């Protein structure tokens, strides 16, 4: 049986989602020279810094307009203008991304207008307003809002045109449709820069890096929206940077309008791709997060067709090795009852991969209310003949109840699920955001064939360690 999403609630017990501007800040931290500014009270920026620092274990700077009692009564215009002025003079960022907060959305501050007033005397400086009232969504929506705002505000609106082309949203992007692209003159037109825009969604710096390497191995140039692979995984070299010294540049974001296509591997972060397709004819190809065999196949085939490149032998080799490991591990993993918790794209990707391994995802949970998530999990459940309890927009209390009901043997989720795992004596594999009770969160890698291989080993060895006692040959 597949359950409907959690009932509308009037109390949340241990929320399973982060706040909306935090997702926007995450996206901004992948832009070189960008300073995030929270238009709200100081506590909001403290909370976000705290979450991001303890997950990425990097120094992260987030500024605040420091709203107080009187500014709430009289409006935050003065604070916002002053904050923008101080930040531009003292820190000289290349861009400021201003996110709203619950407070400033509720009092109705018109950030667009305030920023427009500021820009009258600071003409060429990019200040990007991003509306992120946390009561309307999670960090997943905040990330999506930030990408859209970055692209929309930085590209030249004068050259906007409408292609009339429909987006290929959905995971139904078949080989036949891909083959039709081969003859499309758009992909050989000299006006295009030949690059692929890649929207990654909320994945780890290590996963962003894997995707960049995959594109390089395919012989493709890319623009990553946004590139946290180094800005949130810094080398120790004696330099102290107040704002990201690495990441996607403003010039690259502007150049996205000339790319041959946008490939979005997040079903919840495609609004920038939709904007580019509608206004600049840059085709949007929306495919699942490449976790495991079939989803990585989907990405590799898409890159091959859109980039008109042959799949290199090394990538085929990695695929074959993953397939071999799946066969090797099958006896240990078959029918194991698993719960998966975290961001919706990640949970869907892991559900697909674990189903490919012969495991049975019995409970999936995300704190983000999402019909896309619900539909995708239902489709996977039908495909694999599984009953899956789906919690969309739920909390940790919901997750715990279902874990007990469904007799779960393994849990994949972030550090907030560690208490449940410990109390119910279930092994936990830490993935997603935040992971603060272990080190290496920025290196948790789940996308692509090689990461699938490593994840498979971790899952299988966890199962062996927990459920097959050493020396008990009869149980193995």
**Which residue ranges make up the site for ligand SF4 (CB under 6 A)?**
19, 21, 40, 44, 47, 101-102, 134
Q: Which CB atom, from 101 or from 210, has the smaller least distance to ligand SF4? A: 101
Q: Which CB atom, from 62 or from 282, has the smaller least distance to ligand SF4? A: 62
Shortest separation between residue 59's beta carbon and ligand SF4, angstroms: 20
Shortest separation between residue 396's beta carbon and ligand SF4, angstroms: 17
The answer to whether the CB of 428 falls within 8 A of the CB of 417 is yes
Shortest separation between residue 134's beta carbon and ligand SF4, angstroms: 4
Q: What DSSP state is assigned to residue 186?
A: G
Shortest separation between residue 41's beta carbon and ligand SF4, angstroms: 7
Q: Which CB atom, from 105 or from 356, has the smaller least distance to ligand SF4? A: 105
Q: Which CB atom, from 43 or from 170, has the smaller least distance to ligand SF4? A: 43
Shortest separation between residue 76's beta carbon and ligand SF4, angstroms: 13
Length of the chain: 476
The answer to whether the CB of 297 falls within 8 A of the CB of 353 is no
Q: Which CB atom, from 25 or from 269, has the smaller least distance to ligand SF4? A: 25
Tell me the torsion sign for CA atoms 315, 319, 321, 322. positive
Shortest separation between residue 103's beta carbon and ligand SF4, angstroms: 6
Bridge partners (DSSP) of residue 99 are 38, 130
Shortest separation between residue 133's beta carbon and ligand SF4, angstroms: 8
Q: What DSSP state is assigned to residue 8?
A: P
Q: Which CB atom, from 64 or from 231, has the smaller least distance to ligand SF4? A: 64
Q: Which CB atom, from 134 or from 368, has the smaller least distance to ligand SF4? A: 134
Shortest separation between residue 151's beta carbon and ligand SF4, angstroms: 23
Q: What DSSP state is assigned to residue 124?
A: T
Residue 9: count of CB within 10 angstroms of its CB = 12
Q: How far is 148 from 368, CA to CA, in rounded Å? A: 19
Q: How far is 142 from 63, CA to CA, in rounded Å? A: 17
Residue 238: which residues within 8 A CB-CB, separation 6 or more?
none
Biggest distance spanned by C-alpha atoms of the chain = 78
Q: Which CB atom, from 52 or from 211, has the smaller least distance to ligand SF4? A: 52
Residue 192: which residues within 8 A CB-CB, separation 6 or more?
186, 258, 259, 260
Residue 230: count of CB within 10 angstroms of its CB = 18
The answer to whether the CB of 299 falls within 8 A of the CB of 265 is yes
Residue 390's φ and ψ, nearest 5 degrees, are -105, 125
């Amino acid at each position: 049986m597949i359950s409907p999403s959690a009932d509308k609630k009037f109390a949340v017990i241990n929320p399973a989602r982060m706040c909306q501007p935090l997702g926007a800040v995450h996206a901004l931290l992948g832009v070189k020279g960008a300073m995030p500014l929270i238009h709200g009270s100081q506590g909001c920026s403290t909370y976000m810094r705290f979450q991001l620092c303890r997950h990425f274990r990097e120094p992260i700077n987030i500024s605040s307009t420091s709203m107080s009692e009187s500014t709430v009564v009289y409006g935050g215009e003065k604070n916002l203008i002053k904050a923008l002025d101080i930040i531009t003079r003292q820190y000289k960022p290349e861009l400021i991304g201003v996110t709203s907060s619950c407070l400033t959305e509720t009092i109705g501050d018109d950030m667009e207008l305030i920023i427009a007033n500021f820009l009258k005397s600071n003409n060429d400086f990019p200040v990007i307003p991003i509306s992120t009232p946390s009561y309307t969504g999670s960090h997943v929506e905040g990330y999506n809002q930030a990408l859209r705002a970055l692209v929309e505000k930085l590209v030249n609106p004068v050259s906007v045109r409408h292609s009339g082309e429909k987006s290929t949203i959905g995971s139904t992007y078949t080989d036949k449709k891909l083959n039709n692209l081969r003859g499309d003159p758009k992909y050989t037109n000299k006006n295009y820069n030949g690059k692929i825009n890649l929207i990654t969604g909320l994945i780890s710096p290590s996963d962003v890096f894997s995707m960049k390497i995959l594109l390089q191995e395919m012989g493709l140039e890319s623009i990553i929206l946004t590139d946290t692979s180094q800005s949130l995984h810094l080398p120790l070299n004696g330099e102290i940077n107040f704002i990201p010294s690495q990441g996607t540049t403003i010039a690259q974001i502007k150049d996205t309008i000339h790319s041959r296509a946008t490939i979005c591997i997040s079903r919840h972060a495609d609004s920038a791709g939709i904007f580019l397709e509608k206004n600049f004819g840059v085709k949007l190809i929306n495919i699942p997060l490449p976790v495991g065999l079939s989803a990585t196949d989907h990405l590799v085939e898409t890159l091959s067709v859109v980039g008109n490149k042959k799949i290199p032998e090394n990538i085929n080799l990695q695929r074959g090795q993953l397939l071999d490991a799946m066969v090797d591990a099958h006896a240990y993993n078959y029918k194991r009852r698993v719960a998966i918790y975290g961001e919706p794209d990640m949970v869907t990707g892991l559900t697909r991969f674990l189903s490919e391994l012969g495991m049975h995802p019995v409970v999936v949970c995300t704190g983000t209310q999402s019909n896309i998530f619900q539909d995708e999990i239902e489709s996977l459940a039908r495909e694999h003949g599984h009953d899956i309890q789906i919690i969309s927009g739920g909390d940790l209390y919901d997750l715990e109840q279902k874990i007990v009901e469904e007799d779960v043997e393994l849990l994949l989720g972030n550090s907030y699920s560690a208490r449940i795992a410990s109390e119910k004596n279930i092994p936990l594999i830490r993935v997603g955001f935040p992971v603060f009770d272990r080190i290496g969160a920025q290196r948790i890698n789940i996308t692509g064939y090689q990461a699938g291989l490593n994840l498979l080993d971790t899952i299988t060895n966890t199962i062996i360690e927990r459920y097959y006692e050493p020396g008990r040959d009869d149980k193995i």
